[in-house]
Amino acid sequence: MHQIVAKRELAPAITRFEVEAPRIARKWQAGQFVILRLSEGGERIPLTIADVDRERGLITLIVQRVGKTTTDLSNLEVGAAIRDLTGPLGTPTHIENFGTVGAIAGGVGTAVVYPIARALKEAGNRVWTILGARSRELVILAEELQVVSDELAITTEDGSLGYRGLVTDLLREWLEQGRPLDHVFAAGPVPMMQAVVEVMRPYHIPTTVSLNPIMVDGTGMCGCCRVSIHGQTKYTCVEGPEFDGFAVNFEELMARLRMYRPQERLALERCQAGKGGGRSRLK
Ligand code: FAD
Ligand code: NAD
Ligand code: FES
């Protein structure tokens, strides 16, 4: 059992939790995640470790309410406990001094980008960050990213804060202005990561993306999180979540993410009706 010691609403439907998990906090490196289960027989869902407090043995999780399990988690209060937390999982981000890096964050994917940007800054990189959200109230971790970025630009689709447009609109402008980038890291919705890759492709600047397929066991055994990289099958939970963006088959990833929509919708409806949703993907 892992007790929740702090909870804060960062934005509509986005909640930040600090959770007791001393062993995970000790071992964590940027880019890694946990798989959690709220109850016996409950669905297992992956969440990025957005930060850790090693002294207090805490990990930070930032969760967007999109379906049954994220809704159940978001409804937990301080003092409640998460039944299982497995981690840290995944291959840590490859951090080195690349020179100047672009850190591109879309929506709740900002929780993934923040620890990576911080590690890149600590390794001596110049970090230029673009943080995109649909509107001002959905921007998260801007203050934290400001601290670890040499430059932070915020984009909103409705123009309510910063540059009006998508993260890729500003990234394209930066590249057309001849800004020198040595490496780009992107995390967010899959169509966003695909769009970042297409903007970067003509420039041949290495572009790493953090993929978010559906996961179950997180150990490379079930095959649920498989993705095609350069036409070869890779298991995101152990060989990822980060891959060379130019090599990813995004269409396949999006199709696999859509596979359980009817079951996911049903589980959420049952949960909202107070009937419990069961194991949305495992039934
Ligand atoms: P479901 O009912 O299972 O799904 C609801 C909707 O979300 C559906 O439209 C479904 O297609 C979509 N969905 C389901 N699983 C995923 C997924 N893996 N990625 C994208 N969309 C999905 N979410 C966060 O809020 N914060 C994080 O830090 C975070 N980190 C992640 C790290 C990794 C390595 C991965 C693989 C995913 C991460 N996610 C994160 C996504 C999160 O795991 C899903 O949103 C969650 O599993 C949905 O569960 P649910 O039961 O609430 O919704
Ligand atoms: P969103 O749909 O509000 O998009 C956020 C921003 O991303 C937009 O404002 C825009 O700037 C950019 N963007 C989105 N679609 C784009 C496109 N087609 N082209 C160019 N730019 C685009 O984001 P949200 O509602 O916060 O959703 C976050 C998504 O990130 C969810 O699908 C979630 O599952 C996923 N996620 C990914 C990871 C990961 O590891 N990559 C981790 C957590 C969540
Ligand atoms: Fe089962 Fe990756 S989640 S193999």
pLDDT reported for residue 281: 37
Residue 127's domain spans which residues? Answer: 100-210
Average of pLDDT values for 243-271?
88
Do 10 and 31 reside in the same domain of the chain? yes
Q: Among 159, 186, 210, identify where a domain stops.
A: 210
Higher-confidence position of 38 and 281: 38
How far is it, in rounded angstroms, from Cα 214 to Cα 45? 8
Backbone phi, then psi, for 66, in 5-degree steps? -125, -20
Q: What is the CA(55)–ligand 2 centre distance, in A?
A: 32
Return the CA Rg of the chain: 18
Question: Does the structure show a pLDDT above 60 at 278?
Answer: no
Q: How confident is the model at residue 283 (pLDDT cuts 50, 70, 90)?
A: very low
Backbone phi, then psi, for 207, in 5-degree steps? -135, 115
In a domain, 223, yes or no: no
Q: What is the CA(189)–ligand 2 centre distance, in A?
A: 3
Sequence-ordered list of residues with C-beta below 8 angstroms from that of 224, at least 6 positions apart, any chain = 213, 214, 215, 216, 217
* pLDDT over 90, % of the chain: 88
Do 70 and 119 reside in the same domain of the chain? no
Sequence-ordered list of residues with C-beta below 8 angstroms from that of 258, at least 6 positions apart, any chain = none
pLDDT reported for residue 275: 58
The upper half-sphere exposure of residue 209, i.e. CA atoms within 13 Å in the direction of its Cβ, equals 26
Does ligand 2 lie within 6 Å of residue 62's CB atom? no
Q: Residue 199: give its domain's CATH number.
A: 3.40.50.80
Question: Does the structure show a pLDDT above 60 at 100?
Answer: yes
pLDDT reported for residue 272: 76
Counting ligand 2 atoms within 8 A of each CB, the residue from 212, 215, 243 with the most, and so the one to mutate, is 212
Q: What is the DSSP string of 207-268?
A: EEEE-----SSSSSSS-TTEEEETTEEEEHHHH-SEEEGGGB-HHHHHHHHTTTHHHHHHHH
CA-nearest of 232, 181, 228 to 207 is: 181
Higher-confidence position of 240 and 277: 240
Q: b/e string for 164-185 if b means 16 or more Cβ within 10 A?
A: ebbbbbbbbebbeeeeebebbb
Alpha-carbon dihedral sign for residues 113, 87, 27, 57: positive
Q: Among 165, 190, 210, identify where a domain stops.
A: 210
Q: What is the CA(104)–ligand 2 centre distance, in A?
A: 11
How far is it, in rounded angstroms, from Cα 5 to Cα 19? 6
Burial class for 1, CB neighbours closer than 10 Å (0-12, 13-18, 19+): exposed
Average of pLDDT values for 50-55?
98
**Number of folded domains in the chain?**
2
Does ligand 3 lie within 6 Å of residue 211's CB atom? no
Do 114 and 25 reside in the same domain of the chain? no
pLDDT reported for residue 276: 53
Q: Among 89, 121, 154, identify where a domain stops.
A: 89
Does ligand 2 lie within 6 Å of residue 48's CB atom? yes
In a domain, 258, yes or no: no
Condensed to tens digits (0 to 9), the pLDDT of residues 69-80 reads: 999 999 999 999
Do 55 and 118 reside in the same domain of the chain? no
Does ligand 1 lie within 6 Å of residue 111's CB atom? yes
